[in-house]
Amino acid sequence: MKKERILIIEDEEDILEVLRYNLEREGFKVLAARDGLEGLRLARSKVPDLILLDLMLPGLDGLDLCRKLKEDPVTRSIRIIMSTAKAETSDQILGLGLGADDYVPKPFSTKALIARVRAVLRRGPLKEEADRRRIVRNDLVIDLSRHEVTIAGKPVPFTATELRLLHFLASHPGRVFRRSELVSRIISENAVVIERNIDVHVRSIRKKIGKLRDLLETVRGVGYRFKE
């Protein structure tokens, strides 16, 4: 069985070595970089399955590196988990808006981090999602890169989770997703992860988009879809 490759981009050597040891023990093949530029070079040349990316890096910081990875057709589908000692909400929103799959504030337990690595890898590639950062449907515009939703040109405030959920469904019009699928792809570990969370977020989204609420369809007994 092919080993999944993890690239760790982390400038703190003790953290890097602890992560390397534990990931290799779990059966992953591990690559490592101590600065942003070396991390970018390895990502482009080795194309790992997932990147553990620290935000506070020398040479090229984590947010700029994430942006470059998502703009490059070679690396845009690589899964990314960001980590940093800065636990500010604005960093989380910006990182997720740039295309990161998850966000882990330091300090974290290695066991919990590995569980999140496995959870993100289980999602598999969604290349069509990465290719559609801005979606326009009637008066509704969903712009993941700018973390912005507008209706008839007027900005509507969305939480990071609501935006990711709406964007994900709109990226796959007509396809029905079970609540369990949406939980694994949308909800972060920082939230209370139960399937009924999705119902709460859908109700909130429908309220915010008003007259366009029918674009989000409920498939009874199954889940939700974005109307074709």
Three-class DSSP labels, 47-113: CCCEEEEECCCCCCCHHHHHHHHHHCCCCCCCEEEEEECCCCHHHHHHHHHHCCCEEEECCCCHHHH
Torsion of CA 145, 151, 156, 161, to 10 degrees: -50
Strand pairing category for 177-178 and 154-156: unpaired
Q: State the Cα–Cα distance between residues 131 and 57, nearest whole angstrom.
A: 27
Q: Which amino acid is at 136?
A: V
Domains along the chain with CATH numbers: 5-125 (3.40.50.2300), 128-226 (1.10.10.10)
* Residue 84 · residue 106 · CB < 8 Å: yes
Instruction: Flag whether the pTM goes above 0.95.
Output: no
**Which pLDDT tens digits describe the chain residue by residue (228 residues)?**
568 999 999 999 999 999 999 999 999 999 999 999 999 999 988 889 999 999 889 989 888 999 888 877 668 788 999 987 765 556 666 667 777 888 888 888 899 899 989 988 887 654 444 446 788 888 999 987 677 899 999 999 998 788 888 988 888 888 888 888 787 666 544 444 456 788 989 999 999 999 999 999 998 888 899 997
Strand partners of residue 225: 217
- 110 Cβ partners below 8 Å, 6+ apart? 18, 19, 22
Cβ neighbours for 132, distance < 8 A, ≥ 6 positions apart: 171
Nearest to 48 by CA among 88, 93, 80, 23: 80
